[in-house]
């Protein structure tokens, strides 16, 4: 009996201990949830600090908690362009903010349209007689563009600045697939639909080279014009014409070279930069740190400046990232998810709808699902506007066809009106290793598609006909939407991509302007005056758990201070990410694609991966071990 009593007391003790442990975990989680959202009480008089340790994007990607915890890497920080603009505009008119700080030490970039929008907001801060100070250890193209809007650009003396311009190489697998006896069966329509070329060629075709040269040339001209306007003293032509001579003239000192070329104003350490801010906004009396100044971070500032919701609602639905079938996203445009958001909004009695697109396209079926959902709003006879961000190409243009008016920027990449499908078959490889396929067929389609034995001519013909029919549908939708003939759309289609300026000239775009311009036009079309409407971002509010994970993983993750060598190494990481993406498209099952693989990688949502190279290496391992 004594033994039984001891066992009983042990069990009771374990039970009490577990209860206590679960109670502690419960209250800890409850406290974390309640404090996950920033408090407006954190707003202080002094400087608004924008620590952009990540990328500027159209729509923040929702963190997968299991993937994030298992990967042991902090996801790349993401900052929505419209939130940065809203924060800066609020700072321009708020007397509590005396200066704005751009901390670009771990900045990973963003599309040109987003950078321009944030840069213009910085100009409005300066127009309100408030200084804007930027600091980094190294500036690349995107950092230079953003920092050019600052009144003082600081650079660490051990750092530097480089301007490379758009362009570069891509991987071609044609010879490798031939050596492996893998048959990449390509079905496409469009002279310029070069998305399939990596699987069939060893180099870029001349039509693709012509298209790339025109696109990159236009983007480069826009970048230079933008930077020169914001920072006239910058000698962009000199440093890009002879970069080696530019560096040698400064004795190999990259920081001095950047200063002499007018890319930066001052060389100084972080402590010296902070001391300058103390001169501007005063010393933080509540901090014991050296050169501490009163500061307000982005999140509490946004919380303190919430969007007022008075009057009629102008709905804004965001289509960001690759368009895929299903519920994926945010950050990826899951067709079913976006269609459901639009259908739920039918009950909200929107005065107008603005479709914000920042997507290179993707699944034809998902693009059509979104288009049909937009048409259900159009059937209610409300104004429909499309606002194009960095890229709205292929499927991204497909979803824009219901619009009454399409807005884009000169730097927007659009068009790519074409469809393709790529399916690998392994009959050659199977024959080489001694595997054969034999059987009985009752029709030419029996047992098809056969990835090991190969496709019959009938299957090839059916797949090509299906893609061609999809292209015909695409042409018809664009022709009806833009009041053009099928022949005219076919001439400007063929998979060719266009910059926003050229797209406006050929009739694919109606008007220059960003999201604000599109919303204001939609409100005016709905008969609403100033103060009579507000923006309702459909499905935009992030979940509490996502906010909490960002605090735990992103904000507590180590920020990588990038020197010039790091900027170059990131190009190799990006190359690895593109390699994985190309192989995924070849080896995973997909339907017909209206996708702009030709669009510059930097413009595509989700271009950022984990902070470590292991992020894309893990994806590659997973790809071959499924």
- Residues marked active site are found at 193, 394
- Give the Å distances, CA to CA, from 417 to 19, 193, 487, 489: 61, 8, 13, 9
Phi, psi of 186 (to 5 degrees): -110, 130
Quote the CA–CA distance of 572 and 574 in Å, as a whole number.
Answer: 5
Which residue shows structure tokens 């499905």? 539
Name every residue whose Cβ is closer than 8 Å to that of residue 66 and which is 6 or more positions away in sequence.
Answer: none
Cβ–Cβ < 8 Å for 328, 334: yes
Strands 97-103 and 132-139: parallel
Cα–Cα distance, 364 to 323 (Å, whole number)? 8
Residue corresponding to tokens 């920027």: 409
**348 within 8 A of 313, measured Cβ to Cβ:** yes
> Is-contact 329 543, C-beta < 8 A?
no
At residue 16, what are phi and psi to the nearest 5 degrees? -65, -40
The number of CA neighbours under 13 Å toward the Cβ of 556 is 9
Among candidate residues 385, 367, 373, 391, the one with its CA nearest the CA of residue 316: 385
Question: In this structure, what DSSP letter does residue 96 have?
Answer: T
Q: Which of 411, 248, 228, 323 is nearest to 605 (CA)?
A: 323
CB–CB of 237/151 below 8 Å? no
Q: Which two tokens stand for residue 547?
A: 């906010």
The answer to whether 152 and 451 have CB atoms below 8 angstroms apart is no
What is the C-alpha separation between 66 and 545, in angstroms, rounded? 12
- Bridge partners of 203? none
Q: CA nearest 98: which of 160, 47, 170?
A: 47
439 CB neighbour count, 10 Å cutoff: 8
In angstroms, the first-to-last Cα distance of the chain is: 56
What is the rounded CA–CA span in Å between residue 394 and residue 26?
Answer: 48
CA 196 to chain centre: 22
Residue 137 per-residue DSSP state: E
**What's the rounded Cα separation, in Å, for the pair 608 and 576?**
12
Nearest-angstrom CA–CA distance, 111 and 142: 8
Give the side-chain half-sphere CA count within 13 A for 216: 17
Going from the C-alpha of 155 to that of each of 6, 269, 270, 278, 616, the distances in angstroms are 69, 8, 9, 18, 31
Round to whole Å and give the CA distance between 556 and 209. 44
Q: Are 165 and 136 in contact (CB under 8 A)?
A: no
């Amino acid at each position: 009996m004594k033994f039984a009593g001891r066992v009983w007391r042990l069990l009771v003790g374990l039970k009490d201990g577990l209860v206590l442990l679960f109670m502690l975990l419960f209250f800890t989680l409850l406290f974390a949830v309640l404090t996950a959202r920033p408090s407006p009480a954190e707003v202080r008089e002094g400087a608004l600090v924008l620590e952009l340790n990540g990328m500027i994007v159209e729509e923040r990607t929702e963190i997968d908690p299991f993937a994030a915890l298992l990967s042991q890497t902090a996801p790349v920080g993401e900052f929505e362009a419209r939130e940065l603009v809203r924060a800066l505009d609020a700072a321009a008119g708020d007397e509590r903010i005396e200066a704005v700080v751009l901390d670009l030490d771990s900045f990973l970039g963003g599309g040109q349209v987003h950078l321009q929008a944030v840069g213009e907001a910085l100009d409005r801060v300066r127009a309100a007689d408030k200084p804007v100070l930027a600091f980094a250890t190294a500036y690349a193209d995107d950092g230079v563009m953003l920092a050019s809007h600052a009144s003082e650009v600081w650079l660490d003396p051990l750092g530097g600045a480089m301007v490379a311009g758009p362009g570069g190489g891509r991987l071609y697998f044609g010879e490798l697939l031939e050596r492996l006896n893998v048959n990449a069966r390509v079905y496409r329509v469009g002279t310029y639909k070069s998305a399939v070329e990596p699987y069939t060629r060893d180099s870029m075709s001349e039509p693709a080279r012509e298209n790339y040269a025109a696109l990159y040339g236009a983007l480069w001209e826009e970048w230079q014009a933008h930077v020169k306007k914001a920072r006239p003293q910058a000698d962009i032509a000199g440093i890009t014409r002879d970069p080696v001579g530019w560096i040698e003239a400064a004795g190999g000192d990259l920081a001095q070279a950047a200063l002499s070329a007018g890319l930066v104003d001052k060389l100084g350490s972080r402590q010296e930069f902070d001391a300058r801010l103390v001169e501007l906004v005063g010393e933080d009396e509540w901090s014991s740190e050296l050169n501490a100044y009163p500061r307000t971070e982005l999140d509490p500032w946004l919380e303190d400046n919430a969007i007022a919701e008075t009057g009629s609602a102008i709905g804004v639905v965001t289509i960001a990232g690759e368009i895929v079938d299903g519920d994926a996203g945010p950050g990826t445009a899951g067709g079913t998810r976006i269609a459901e958001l639009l259908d739920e909004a039918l009950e909200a009695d929107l005065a107008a709808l603005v479709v914000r697109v920042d997507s290179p396209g993707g699944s034809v079926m998902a693009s059509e699902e979104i288009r049909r959902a937009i048409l259900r709003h159009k059937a209610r006879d409300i104004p429909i506007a499309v606002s194009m961000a960095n890229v709205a190409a292929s499927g991204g243009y497909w979803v824009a066809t219901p619009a009454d008016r399409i807005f884009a920027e000169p730097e927007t990449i659009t068009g790519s009106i074409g469809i393709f499908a790529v399916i690998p078959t392994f009959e050659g490889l199977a024959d080489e290793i001694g595997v054969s396929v034999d059987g009985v067929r009752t029709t030419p389609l029996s047992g098809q598609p056969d990835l090991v034995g190969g496709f019959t001519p009938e299957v090839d013909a059916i797949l090509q006909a299906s893609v061609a029919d999809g292209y015909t549908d695409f042409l018809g939708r664009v022709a009806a939407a833009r009041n053009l003939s099928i022949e005219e759309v076919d001439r400007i289609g063929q998979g060719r991509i266009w910059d926003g300026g050229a797209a406006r000239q050929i009739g694919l775009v109606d008007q220059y302007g960003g999201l604000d311009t599109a919303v204001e036009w939609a409100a005016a079309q709905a008969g609403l005056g100033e103060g009579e409407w507000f923006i309702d971002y459909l499905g935009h509010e992030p979940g509490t758990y996502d906010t909490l994970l960002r605090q735990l993983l992103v904000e507590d993750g180590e920020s990588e201070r990038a020197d010039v060598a790091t900027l170059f190494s990131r190009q190799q990481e990006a190359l690895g990410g593109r390699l994985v993406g190309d192989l995924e498209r070849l080896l995973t099952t997909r339907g017909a694609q209206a996708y702009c693989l030709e669009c510059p990688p930097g413009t595509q949502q989700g271009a950022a991966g984990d902070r470590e190279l292991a992020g894309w290496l893990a994806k590659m391992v997973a790809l071959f071990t499924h």
